[in-house]
Amino acid sequence: MNTPNTGSSVNRTRWLTLIGTIITQFALGSVYTWSLFNGQLSMKLDTSISQVAFSFGLLSLGLALASSVAGKLQERFGVRKVTMAAGVMMAVGLMLTSQADNLFMLYLSAGLLVGLADGAGYLMTLSNCVKWFPERKGVISACAIGAYGLGSLGFKFICSYLLSVYSLETTFMIWGGMAMSMIVIGALLMKDAPAQQTAGYKTSEKRDYSLAESMRLPQYWMLALMFLTACMSGLYVIGVAKDIGESMVHLSAQTAANAVTIIAIANLSGRLVLGVLSDKVARIRVITLAQVVSLAGMSILLFSHMNESSFFIAIACVAFSFGGTITVYPSLVSDFFGLNNLTKNYGVIYLGFGIGSVMGSLIASLFGGFTVTFSLIMALLVISLLMSATIRMPHKLAEVKKALQHA
C-alpha cells in the first residue's frame, strides 16, 4: 500500500500550486500601477488625463468579464494552459499599448486586452488554489489576494524605476516581458484541484449548487449586491482619493498623494487580517464587520469637516474594508454554494467588480461632485449591512423550514 506516498505527493502538489498562484497573482496585480502612466500617455496622445484614465475603467470591466467565464475555460483546457495563455495575452496587450498612438488603440490594448488577460488568470487561479485547501480557505485566499495587492505595490517601484531610466514605450515592453515570465513560471507549478468531497468536514450537510441552481436562490443576489456595494465604494474612493484630499480637505498635491500609500497599506492589512479572521469566525460576520468599518469611513467623508488625519483615517477604513471583502468573498461563496462550482458561482458575482468600478465614476460625472456618489454608496452600505445581518445559508434555511413544518 502506498497511501503515505500518495498523501505526501498530494501535499507537495497543493503547496507547489499555492507558490505558483502567489507568483502569478503578484504579476497580475501589477495592473494597479496604471495611474503612474496617465500623465505621460496623456502627453503622448495629446489628450486629457481623464480620457486616458478611462482605459483603467475598461481594464476593470474586462477583468470582471473574463473572471466570469474563466471557469468554463478551466474545465476545457485546465488551469495551467489558461494561465499561460493569460500571461502571453497580458504581454501582447502591454506591448501593443507601447505602440498605441490614439485613444481607440489604447482602450483596445490597455483596456480590453490587458483586462481580459488579468481576469482570465486572477479568479480562476485563486479559486483553484482555495479548492486545494478546503480546511483553511480564509488563509489561502489572504495569501493569494495579498500577493495580488503586493504586486501593485512591488510593480509601483519597478515601473517607477523603469520610467526614470527608459522611455514610456520601453517600460511597457519590459513590464510585459516580466509579467509574462512570472505568470508562465507560476502556471507551470499549478495543477487542477480535484473535485471536493464535502463529507468529513463540518459542512457535511451542504451540497454543491450549479450556477443555474445558485442563481435561483435569493441569497445569491443578496451576496451579489453586497459585493457590488463593497467594490463600488472601494474602487471609487481609491480612484479619486488624491482628488478628495486636494478639493475637500485642501491638502497640497504632495500631501494628498500620500493617500496612495495609506490605501495600499490599509488594503493589504484588510486582506490579511479579515482573511485570517474568516477561518475563525463565521465569514458572513466578517463581511458585516467590513461593512461597519466602511460605513465609518464613508460617514467621515460625508458628515465631518475633515482635516489631514481624519481624511487618511476615512480612506484607510474604506480601503481596509474593500481589501478584506474581496479576500473573504471566494470562501464565503463556497460556504453558501459549495466548492466544486466556485469559479462559476463567484464569477458572475465578480461582475460586480467591473460594474462597481464604472458606476461610481459614472454617477459622479452625471451628477457632479463627490457628495452624491458618497450618499448613494452610504445608502447601499446600509442596505448591505441589513442583508448581511439577516441572510441565511440555503441548507440552514431548509433546516429551519423543516423544523417549522414538524412543529
Instruction: Label residue 20 exposed, middle or buried (CB < 10 Å: 0-12, 13-18, 19+).
Output: buried
* DSSP string over 53-106: HHHHHHHHHHHHHHHHHHHHHHHHH-HHHHHHHHHHHHHHHHHHHHH--SHHHH
* Cα(25)–Cα(31) distance, integer angstroms: 11
- DSSP-derived letter for residue 325 is H
Say how far apart CA 30 and CA 163 lie, in whole Å: 15
* 289-305 mean pLDDT: 94
∠ at Cα 282 (277, 284), nearest 5°? Answer: 100
Map out the domains of the chain as residue ranges.
12-192, 208-393
CA dihedral 63, 65, 71, 72 (to 10 degrees): -130
Candidate CATH numbers 3.40.50.10190, 1.10.3720.10, 1.20.1250.20, 1.10.1670.10; the one for domain 12-192: 1.20.1250.20
For range 316-342, the mean pLDDT: 91
Per-residue confidence at 244, pLDDT binned at 50, 70, 90?
confident
The residue ranking higher by pLDDT, 68 or 349, is 349
Read off the pLDDT band of 295 (50, 70, 90): very high
pLDDT at 166: 95
Q: pLDDT tens digit string along 157-214? A: 899 899 999 999 999 999 999 999 999 999 999 999 987 665 444 444 467 899 999 9
The H or E element spanning position 28 is helix 3-28
Q: What are phi and psi of 199, to 5 degrees?
A: -65, 145
pLDDT of residue 5: 58
pLDDT (0 to 100) of residue 207: 75
pLDDT in the model for residue 201: 41
Indicate the average pLDDT of the chain.
Answer: 87
The whole-angstrom separation of Cα 56 and Cα 69 is: 20
DSSP state of 198: -
If you count them, how many residues does the chain have? 407
Would you call 291 helix, strand, or coil by DSSP? helix
3-state secondary structure of 206: coil
Angle at alpha carbon of residue 374, lines to 52 and 232, rounded to 5°: 55
> What pLDDT shows up at residue 396?
65
Q: What pLDDT score was predicted for residue 404?
A: 55
Nearest to 209 by CA among 354, 32, 333: 333
Choosing among 1.20.1250.20, 3.40.50.720, 3.40.640.10, 3.40.50.10470, the CATH entry for 208-393 is 1.20.1250.20
What residue has cell string 442596505? 383
Q: How far, in Å, CA of 374 to CA of 359, rounded? A: 12
Q: What percent of the chain has pLDDT over 70?
A: 92
Q: What is the pLDDT of residues 219-237, one digit of tens each?
A: 999 999 999 999 999 988 8
pTM across the whole model: 0.79
If DSSP codes are grouped into helix, strand and coil, which group holds residue 391? Answer: coil
DSSP structure string for 330-347: HHHHHHHH-STTHHHHHH
Q: Which residue has the higher pLDDT, 136 or 282?
A: 282
Pick the residue with more confidence: 385 or 250?
A: 385
pLDDT of residue 15: 93
**What are the tens digits of pLDDT across the range 335-389?**
999 888 888 898 899 889 888 877 887 887 788 778 888 999 999 999 999 999 9
Smallest CA-to-CA distance from 318 within 405, 237, 206, 383 is with 237
Q: Which of 152, 120, 154 is nearest to 323 (CA)?
A: 152
Segment 130-141 shows an average pLDDT of 87
Mean pLDDT of 79-92: 96
Q: Is the dihedral of CA 214, 323, 328, 195 positive or negative?
A: positive
For residue range 31-58, list pLDDT tens digits in order: 988 878 888 898 999 988 778 878 887 8
Nearest-angstrom CA–CA distance, 238 and 46: 26
Closest alpha carbon to 69 in 151, 149, 127: 127
Name the range with the highest mean pLDDT among 213-217, 248-252, 350-354. 213-217
What pLDDT, on a 0 to 100 scale, did the predictor assign at position 187? 97
**pLDDT (0 to 100) of residue 17:** 96
The residue among 182 and 133 whose pLDDT is bigger is 182
Q: According to the model, what pLDDT value does residue 407 have?
A: 56
Structure-block grid coordinates of residue 115: 483586462
* Residue 320 pLDDT > 50: yes
